[in-house]
Amino acid sequence: MKKVINWFLNPPVTGQSTILLIRLMAGGVFFMEGILKFVYVNQGVGRFTKLGFPFPEMTAHFVATAEIIGGLLLLFGLFTRIAAFYFIIQMIVAVFSTKIDLYLGTSPLPLPPAPPKIGFWAVEHEIRSDYAQILTCLFLLIEGAGRRSLDFIISTSKKVYSINQE
């Protein structure tokens, strides 16, 4: 267990500076989607109610807050692995809780506006952004935040601090 915690808390920070672009994409999307859940009821509480989540108001607000905070963490490259792991789990739950009913044609949410409306191809089309976010977060989970991140600054300051202590 200690190795797992250490792996999450000490991510690699020597990756390309261009990892920043991946963080901007993933973090920006989660940050904006979190805000939308508060601003538009149909994206937050209304959606969670239609999907049958227990305590939809509390659940929607928790998810929205986590998306805002986690999105900011990804944008700044702070606790990147932890945020990426959370978002991978969240996106898998989102796919299973919203897309299986679409496959079966029993979704409580509005069907897609254009064909395919139900079945495998409808699901495949509707999960495209979920799929992209899962893979982007998987990349960040494995590679870390890169050199242009707070994770990098904290990691290098720990090394400088420990050298000065010797």
Q: For 9-23, what is each residue's pLDDT tens digit?
A: 888 888 898 999 999
pLDDT at residue 164 greater than cutoff 80: no
- For residue 45, being part of any structural domain is answered with yes
Per the CB < 8 A criterion, the answer to whether 80 and 149 are in contact is yes
Q: Please indicate, yes or no, if residue 128 is contained in any of the structural domains.
A: yes
Q: Range of 18's domain?
A: 14-165
What residue has token string 């989540």? 53
Number of domains in the chain: 1
Mean predicted confidence (pLDDT) in 27-43: 96
Residue 163 pLDDT greater than 70, yes or no: no
Question: Residue 73: inside a domain, yes or no?
Answer: yes
In this structure, is residue 37 part of a structural domain? Answer: yes
Q: What number of helices (H) and strands (E) belong to the chain? A: 8, 0
